Amino acid sequence: MFKAVSDSAAAADGGSLALFVERLDGTVETFGITRSIASRGTADYNKVSSSQRMLSPADYPAIADALELLLPDTASVHPVAEFIKTLRGHGQPAPRG
């Protein structure tokens, strides 16, 4: 599914994250985790999205598994582990506050 993690970013909105992943076909798919201050306590908090497709919770385990295969080759500056944790724990209640 994926070749490598090419980059990552954190937004100035209170904690949202982006992960740029090179797919096997050479395109880059950007995953995002919504963690803005405005989203806390809502259904959007901790939601994972993709730049290339609509995601449902049923998609999350396969994406987490594919990202996990990249962990040995990923520099610690990339939040790959945080994305895996979020994908695996999706469906947990959103924090209030």
What's the angle, vertex CA 24, arms to CA 20 and CA 28, rounded to 5? 25
- Checking if the pLDDT of 91 tops 90, the result is no
- Checking if the pLDDT of 49 tops 70, the result is yes
Euclidean distance between CA atoms 91 and 86, whole angstroms: 9
- Checking if the pLDDT of 40 tops 90, the result is yes
Q: Is this structure's pTM higher than 0.75?
A: yes
